[in-house]
Amino acid sequence: MMKYWRKPLDYDQVKVPRGTVVIIKERCKGCAFCVEFCPKDVLKMSEEYNEKGYHPPFVAKDGECVNCELCEMLCPEFAIYSLTIDEEGGVERVKVTAQQDEMSSVQKESGSADESVEKDIEFKVAIGKVGGR
């Protein structure tokens, strides 16, 4: 790592944004845009397959995400998004606007929702950012 001989005057006041990446594995088609363009190399392609037969990405460097949302903007399948983490470790912003629409769009033939989306929505309900079911 490079050491700088000068620092900005507001160095002690600048907060680096932190985030966490959420990947909906079953939506992913393995294009690897998110992996290729991540500025912090947080994501890597996994060796496992999803239901579609593609290799979805996984978070290789947990805690390194700077919440630039580039992965979210590049994903053609809307299979990845990031959440801002505040200084206390809580999630500040949730991007799910219509919980019922998301649940109904991933219904399987058996009638049960996709497990990863269901867990994600339960997490958001638990932290009080999305209305209850």
For every residue of 102-131, DSSP letters joined together read HHHHTB-TTSPBPHHHHHHHHHHHHTTSS-
Three-state secondary structure call for residue 28? coil
Instruction: Specify the domain boundaries for CATH 3.30.70.20 within the chain.
Output: 16-93
CA distances from 119 to 2, 5, 37, 103, 110 (A): 41, 47, 27, 11, 18
> How confident is the prediction for the chain on average, in pLDDT?
78
Identify the band that residue 16 occupies on the pLDDT scale cut at 50, 70 and 90.
confident
The owner of tokens 């996994």 is: 46
Mention the CATH class of domain 16-93. Answer: alpha beta
pLDDT, tens digit, 9 for 90 and up, residues 77-107 = 999 999 998 877 666 644 444 344 444 444 4
| Confidence at residue 107, expressed as pLDDT on a 0 to 100 scale | 45
